[in-house]
Amino acid sequence: MIPRPLNEFIVKVSSRCNLNCDYCYEYNLGDETWKSQPKLMSEQTARALGRRIAEHAGRHALPSVFVSLHGGEVLLLGPKKLDAICRILNDEIAPVAEVQFSMQTNATLLDERFVEVIRRHHIAVSVSIDGARAVHDRHRIDHRGRGTFDRVVRGIELLRQYAPEYFTGLLAVIDVANDPVGALDAVASHGVEFVDFLLPHHNWDSAPPRPNGDPIAYGRWYWDLYKAWTSDRHPHIQVRFLANIVSQLAGGISIFEEMTLAPATLITVATDGGLEAVDSVKSTASGIQQIGLNVNTDSFDAALDDPLISIRQAGEAQLCSECRACVFKNECAGGYFPHRWGRGNHFNNPSVYCSDLFWLVSQIRDDLAARRRKREALLHRATN
């Protein structure tokens, strides 16, 4: 297999966070490596990173690259340092390839100074919020145990007022104790066109809670969300998790990297410049994401041979035998990579959400078939 070049760089500009979300894979699922990382990425490291990205883009003739600013919390940088890091990266990369910046933030620290930086560097911003106040504040608290909903909403309103063209959507982690339709209504109230409802990070060594032992509790949650979404409830909103399944069932392409056999072309860069596999694998075992390379000494090409990078470019070969034999191997693709983890077989397992995903994809497949038959019947009656 010829490795695909990397074109998405998840850059950890901050290794700390001002929130203490109980499901966070960075701090609350066992990984301890953040404690030894610099709190903030230095300008020197940012320059070395920019040069390495430019080197990689030039070597592989990439017309553009995606730089996704992550943490911890990105805004802990402060507006001046955020501006400086974006400027440095752009100065180094832009002569070789177009740079498209994005940012994932909890928005609690957002103010007009940050908005100016966002506009200056054309940073696409996605905000984490789990739903209405009671839903959000159950999990997304600060280090004093206080809810953060009002602070997040204040940040969202700043984006909507002063940088609407850069406010790209919302990210929510689902809790099956919540009403999915209520969750959709809550995010729709913020005027967005894009939302992602994600499964919480669990695996075979840390199984997800299942109310009353229901083996498809998460599948049912998404199915109720799907029925509302396809019944013209907030039809302007794209729900990426569901849209991805629909696209692949219809023979289209995957629209994100969580459930796809398409080669994953992303890599994470820690605040010290260390290269790592996708950051969410931290939810499986502490330090497992580290691959022993650093932008100060190593090229991105050197990372392409690492098992945690190369396996996600292996297509069907990355799947366990059970998943390769599954009728939904293309649409589910073994679920999200970290959710396959178990100490016995490592990532050579189905997703810990396998029963949910199989049931959900089956339901969506049958619904799409029924809708297609209905359209064909209407067309037949109209032409006869």
Write down the pLDDT at residue 376: 82
Q: What does DSSP assign to residue 213?
A: G
Which token pair is 255?
A: 């629209």
For the packed helices 354-382 and 240-249, what is the interaxial angle rounded to 10 degrees? 60
Write down the pLDDT at residue 198: 96
Residue whose pair of structure tokens reads 């260390």 in the numeric block? 274
The alpha carbon torsion through 243, 9, 273, 114 (nearest 10 deg) reads -80
Q: Kindly state the average pLDDT of the residues 254-260.
A: 88
Distance of alpha carbon 36 from alpha carbon 38, whole angstroms = 7
Q: 167: Cβ–Cβ under 8 A, 6 or more apart, which residues?
A: 125, 127, 156, 159, 160, 192
pLDDT digit string, tens, across residues 293-350 = 999 999 999 999 999 999 999 999 999 999 999 999 999 999 999 999 998 899 999 9
- Confidence bin at 241 (pLDDT 50/70/90): very high
Half-sphere exposure of 366 (CA within 13 A, CB side): 7
Is the Cα torsion angle 53, 287, 329, 223 positive or negative in sign? Answer: negative
Q: What does DSSP assign to residue 164?
A: G
Cis peptide before 182 (omega within 30 of 0): no
pLDDT digit string, tens, across residues 152-178 = 999 999 999 999 999 999 999 999 999
Q: Which helix (H) or strand (E) holds 99?
A: strand 98-105
pTM higher than the cut 0.75? yes
- Confidence bin at 257 (pLDDT 50/70/90): confident
Q: Kindly state the average pLDDT of the residues 196-216.
A: 96
Spatial contact of 245 and 335, defined as CB atoms under 8 Å apart: no
Q: 97: Cβ–Cβ under 8 A, 6 or more apart, which residues?
A: 53, 54, 57, 58, 62, 63, 64, 65
**SS3 of the chain: helix, strand, coil, percent, to 5:** 45, 15, 40
Return the CATH number of the domain spanning residue range 8-313. 3.20.20.70
Q: 227: Cβ–Cβ under 8 A, 6 or more apart, which residues?
A: none
